[in-house]
Copies of this chain bind each other. A is one copy, B any other.
Amino acid sequence: MGEFDLIARYFQRPTSRAVLGIGDDCALLQPAAGMQLAVSSDMLVEGRHFFADVDPSTLGHKALAVNLSDLAACGAHPLAFTLALALPRVDEAWLAAFSRGLFALADEHGCELVGGDTTRGPLNICITVFGEVPRGQALLRSGARAGDDIYVSGTLGEARLALEALRGDIRLPTAWMAATRARLEQPTPRVALGLALRGIASAAIDVSDGLLGDLGHILRASRVGARIDTAIAVDLLAGDGAEPMGNSLLHHEARLACVLAGGDDYELAFTAPVSARAEVEAAALEARTTVTCIGRIENAPGLRLVDAAGQPVSGNFAAFDHFA
């Protein structure tokens, strides 16, 4: 099968929102009047972002999900995406499963594949996603103010647990393994929450490299500091999907490390004024996503971890860095 047959068979579909999709030198998008275009690009590499033997349909899901998560963090409505794909060989079963997982998530969000590239090479998936956001309403990292509450959506740390288990470093009970593995391999981008938080959240970011590292980006961009209540944060691991009994398998510090620096969570971390608490709750309800207040933005730079008694908690919770 040649390059163009491959594209036609697995990736070319009619578009309704884009002016022009796959099949010309460029795709053509027409953002609605008054809209800005939010753009994000993520590259997934075999052995780095996923295991070689991962189910290709979950890989198709995840490749798009991590990009949609960036749109969610900006409060942008998904519109379209491009897919560049380097493949070591043409494996039709792999392509069928990959595109099935990809399009299932794309369809869920009305996000159309409009173009891209295919080539031979070590497996590499690069998606660039486009979303619409009304002018001036994008959620940015730079808007956090002293006194703001700090929230996290959903649960944290499960993807890291699954990763450790798949690497053979820990063992998990079957049900917990299945639940955490789903979090690792098929993350749910919090698009609805991001949209609901427009005009409410003062700053937002998606949690991909670990909560503390990503929160650090908000703090630097906003020139503020933060205090995190670890007694509340540690329970983010006990969220929906995880077997509650399972938590007893992990001691407090290990659970906290998963929550604070696990990575691959694709939840939203965001800040909002104390006066907006009711609006945050309403946004969470509207988006059917739990949110938990885990701390407070402060003027003093830096990130302070405290326990239930307000005493400092020490620990090295480094964020994931591809080159560190």
Chain A residues in the interface with B (C-beta under 8 A) = 1-4, 6, 19-20, 23-31, 33, 36-43, 45-49, 70-71, 73-74, 76, 80, 82-87, 90, 114-122, 124, 126, 128, 130-131, 133, 135, 138, 140-142, 204-206, 221, 321-324
CA distance A117 to B31 in the complex (A): 24
Which residues in B have their C-beta under 8 angstroms from that of A37? 28-31, 37
**Centre residue among A31, A71, A126, A142 by max chain B CB count within 10 A:** A126
CA distance A28 to B76 in the complex (A): 10
Whole-angstrom distance between the Cβ of A87 and the nearest chain B Cβ:
8
CA distance A118 to B49 in the complex (A): 12
Oligomer: number of copies:
2
CA distance A145 to B48 in the complex (A): 49
Between A and B, 28 residue pairs with Cβ closer than 8 Å are A24-B142, A25-B40, A25-B74, A25-B206, A26-B38, A26-B70, A27-B40, A28-B38, A28-B39, A28-B74, A28-B138, A29-B36, A29-B39, A30-B36, A31-B31, A39-B130, A40-B115, A41-B83, A41-B116, A42-B117, A43-B126, A45-B86, A45-B122, A45-B124, A48-B120, A86-B124, A120-B322, A124-B126
CA distance A121 to B121 in the complex (A): 12
Known: A3-B323, A86-B43. A71 touches B120 (CB 8 A): no
Which residues in B have their C-beta under 8 angstroms from that of A84? 41-43, 126, 128
Known: A86-B43, A128-B82. A323 touches B24 (CB 8 A): no
CA distance A38 to B24 in the complex (A): 10
CA distance A27 to B130 in the complex (A): 10
Whole-angstrom distance between the Cβ of A9 and the nearest chain B Cβ:
12
Whole-angstrom distance between the Cβ of A30 and the nearest chain B Cβ:
5
